[in-house]
Amino acid sequence: MEHEDDMANPVGPAPLPVVKLSAPVKAEDFTFSTSAELHGTNWIGQDRALGALRMAAEMRHSDFNAFVLGNPGSGRRRMTRAILAEAAMNRPRPADWVYVNNFDAPDKPVAIELPPGMATKLRKAMEELIDELANDIPALFDSEDYQTRRRSIEQSYTEEHEAEMSRVFEQARARDVAILRTPMGFTVVGTRDGEVMTPEKYRNLSEDEQAAIDAAVDETEQELAAALKAVPGREKQHRRDVEDLNYAMATGGVDVAIRTLRESFSGIQAVTDYLDAVRGDLIENAEIFLVREDGAEAGPFPVATTRHYAKPRFQRYAVNVVVAQEGDGENGAPVIEEDLPTLANLIGRIEYASEMGALVTNFTMIKPGALHRANGGFLILDARQILSEPFAWDALKRCLRTHEIAIYSPAERLSLISTVSLAPDPVPLDVRVILLGERIFYYLLAALDPDFAHLFKLEADFNDHITTGSDGSGAYAAMIAEIARDGGLRPLDPPAMARIFNESHRMTGDAERLSLSLDHLSDLLREADFWSGSEGHDVIGAEAVEKAVAEREFRAGRLRELGAEAILRETLMIDTDGVRVGQINALSVLEIGGTRFGLPSRLTARTRLGTGKVVDIERETELGGPIHSKGMLILQGYLAAAYATDAPMSLWASLVFEQSYGGVDGDSASAAELLAIISSLSDVPIDQSLAITGSVNQFGDIQAIGGVNEKIEGFFDICAARGLTGRQGVLIPAANVKHLSLRRRVIQAVEAGQFRILPMRTIADGIEALTGTVAGTRLPDGLYPEGSVNRRAEDQLRAFAAKRKAFGRAGKEVRTDV
């Protein structure tokens, strides 16, 4: 009970005043009536990132691509779009690109670069050309001129053939020989008196007569064979004459039709060369225009009611538009965002169609990728997405390194298919790539990918916060006003703006910094606007902001409430009053999803005679993480240097988080662990109405920790539920005072004297605040003051050392007697 009396007059640090518990932002700091009067930008505090993005947008040298670093919700994508769109307006429009047939090597389509806006014109011009020829060529071959000239060739061939055969037949008759046509061909036989000689009559002839007939038959057969042998040559010449006629007719028709097209694109050499190839192929294959719809050939071509260009047999003359710049403006480069940067979506793909069980393709089935569409401009990609897509990152680097876009598929690269494919001409590449991603991706790529630093020379690092300025109604308030205006929300009054500032400090966990997480701020404003509208207000007030914050906490509060309920029902044992030796309330933060909340944990320590070992039960059971284990070793170093340095460390101590069944990490409980051991050693009880958080170094200095606001509020809520006594409070590192941005309920309790926030600079501050007893500093004689906590602890350690020495001597004597 003496210790409880000691605590009636507590020593140690003084509680923090209310003004230190949150950022001092008040409605009076703002001079506007509503935020509608403010105008600013959403880009404050991002000068570093803006400079890098503008350099990436305006730099003309290659390889100055940029990686935009920052957390999601920082507005990095919106800002990147705006800067690139502004820069794109001052760039010339890039060229159009088309793929056309390579008539000499159809598996290697030809890429043609065209001035902006000409790709669609070329495609339409080719469509009109083929449609025109599909009507004109059949008409030419059905014309009277063509039919006359064709009949002349046919008649010439027929007359020449008939004249030759007539000569052979006449000479045969003069020799008394007949040429007969049989199913097997021609046969030559002798005649007598105009009649074919039968075998019997032939045998009745004399040998001289038979010899004369045989000689006449042989000579006629030779002449017949010579005449028939000349037939293929004559037919070949006939076909050549017909082909020459057809070629001449087709040439005339094609030249007339293509002349206007050539004049339209006369200044583009690549198109001129292509049209020359088209002309030659059209003339050589004019017969495809003479095919009836039912497949019959060589007849008059009926005028079709549908477009001929779309028919499969005319696809060889198609123009596959890959990139087409629409509009008539002189400037304007593309800004392309690819949300799914697969290999095909990035570099393009070659599609296939199934025909008769086989996969077939042609140049019209080449599809462009994001690099084609962004060529000459900017391409925005998400780093996480492109790194997670197979082959996509490697393909992007190859394209940037070679400055050209070559289309291929993963199956081809891995040789998984044997289907004949295309090898299109690569397209020259001039693009600025902007990668957006978290910092971890940038640092991993910089460390592990040797190509990254060469290809992405610029980093646009977005700040997560800005330092609080002296003018509370300045740029940040204008930014809040712009967010509300852009979202079509109601304006804010000054109290609501002050409340938004407080919540922004809360987001950063620092009373001297304001959050630049535009998405979180926008979400909060929209929720506040909703509650303001539900109350029928025209302006967002502080009550609406408070309602939005409260509703957020309520929606995400189920787990926090379950933890508090377990403590209030004493399922989890936490004391908020009384005193106890070796027992302390440590504070921790739980983060699940997007929810963070604090809960107290009971930490206990037991000590006895030993060999200088401090047992961390969490570590022994493999529940403690490496940082927690580091904190344990640090406090061992403090104990060894602070107490009984002239005697062996004869301590055995055990530490554990009671009723903790999960992993424990971090060093924010190391101060609590040290104080629990000191309490157990000195037999001085700890005030259970206080909780503590903070890490300690080997010199006993208290170091800053994270989540200080949530930890304080977690213990406060338990105390408030049980009833505030005015003695309850939390000890925090003095270095964390600048991070305080507590909820109003805590501030009001402190203001009413019902709760305390105590700053610690050294472990001595914690000892005095928790025990109500002076910690004590060494006197000139090397001892701590009598009655101090440190003296009691040191005396106990000396006693342990003496007992250990005596025990060792007794053991030695026993062994000697034996």
pLDDT tens for each residue of 410-439: 877 776 665 667 889 999 999 999 999 999
- When pLDDT is averaged across residues 178-195 and rounded to a whole number, the result is 74
**CATH number, residue 480:** 1.10.8.60
| For residue 324, pLDDT beyond 60 | yes
Q: Is the C-alpha dihedral spanning 566, 571, 574, 576 positive or negative?
A: positive
User: What is the spatial distance between Cα 814 and Cα 806, in angstroms, rounded to a whole number?
Assistant: 12
In a domain, 102, yes or no: no
| For residue 186, pLDDT beyond 60 | yes
Query: Are 536 and 90 a contacting pair, CB within 8 Å?
Result: no
Q: What is the pLDDT of residue 308?
A: 52
| For residue 110, pLDDT beyond 60 | yes
712 and 572: one domain?
yes
547 and 597: one domain?
no
607 and 548: one domain?
no
In a domain, 448, yes or no: yes
Give 208-249 pLDDT, tens digit per residue.
Answer: 777 887 787 788 778 777 777 777 777 777 777 777 777 777
In a domain, 408, yes or no: yes
Q: Flag the least confident range among 1-10, 85-94, 499-508, 783-792.
A: 1-10
In a domain, 642, yes or no: yes
User: What is the spatial distance between Cα 203 and Cα 283, in angstroms, rounded to a whole number?
Assistant: 63
Hey, which residues does 337 pair with through a beta bridge? 380
Query: Are 529 and 540 a contacting pair, CB within 8 Å?
Result: yes
Give 654-664 pLDDT, tens digit per residue.
Answer: 888 887 766 66
Query: Are 139 and 224 a contacting pair, CB within 8 Å?
Result: no
In a domain, 60, yes or no: yes
How many other CB atoms sit within 10 Å of the CB of residue 593? 7
In a domain, 295, yes or no: no
425 and 489: one domain?
no
pLDDT cut 70: percent of the chain above it:
91
Of 402, 431, 462, the position where a domain reaches its end is: 462
User: What is the spatial distance between Cα 700 and Cα 634, in angstroms, rounded to a whole number?
Assistant: 10
SS3 state of residue 460: strand
Q: What is the pLDDT of residue 526?
A: 95
754 and 788: one domain?
yes
Q: What is the pLDDT of residue 301?
A: 33
| For residue 719, pLDDT beyond 90 | yes
- Number of structural domains found in the chain: 4
User: What is the spatial distance between Cα 636 and Cα 7, in angstroms, rounded to a whole number?
Assistant: 28
Give 34-88 pLDDT, tens digit per residue.
Answer: 999 998 887 888 889 999 999 999 988 888 999 999 888 888 898 999 999 999 9
Q: Catalytic residues, which ones?
A: 668, 711
- Whose tokens are 């293509």? That residue is 258
User: What is the spatial distance between Cα 547 and Cα 555, in angstroms, rounded to a whole number?
Assistant: 12
SS3 state of residue 489: coil
| For residue 150, pLDDT beyond 80 | no
How many other CB atoms sit within 10 Å of the CB of residue 448? 8
In a domain, 397, yes or no: yes
58 and 205: one domain?
no
362 and 440: one domain?
yes
655 and 764: one domain?
yes
Contacts of 591 (CB under 8 A, 6+ apart): none
Residue 789: give the domain boundaries.
567-802
597 and 746: one domain?
yes
Give 688-718 pLDDT, tens digit per residue.
Answer: 999 999 999 999 999 999 899 999 999 999 9
Give percent helix, percent strand, percent coil of the chain, each to the nearest 5. 50, 15, 35
Of 462, 489, 521, the position where a domain reaches its end is: 462
- When pLDDT is averaged across residues 270-287 and rounded to a whole number, the result is 88
Amino acid identity, position 129? L
**CATH number, residue 658:** 3.30.230.10
**CATH number, residue 395:** 3.40.50.300
501 and 574: one domain?
no
Alpha carbon separation from 776 to 8, 694, 773, 798 (Å, rounded):
19, 21, 9, 17
In a domain, 304, yes or no: no
Contacts of 487 (CB under 8 A, 6+ apart): 522, 525, 526, 529
Q: Flag the least confident range among 94-98, 143-147, 405-409.
A: 143-147
57 and 172: one domain?
no
531 and 602: one domain?
no
404-405 vs 366-367, strand pairing mode: unpaired
| For residue 332, pLDDT beyond 80 | yes
| For residue 480, pLDDT beyond 60 | yes
Of 445, 462, 479, the position where a domain reaches its end is: 462
Residue 540 φ then ψ, to 5°: -75, 120
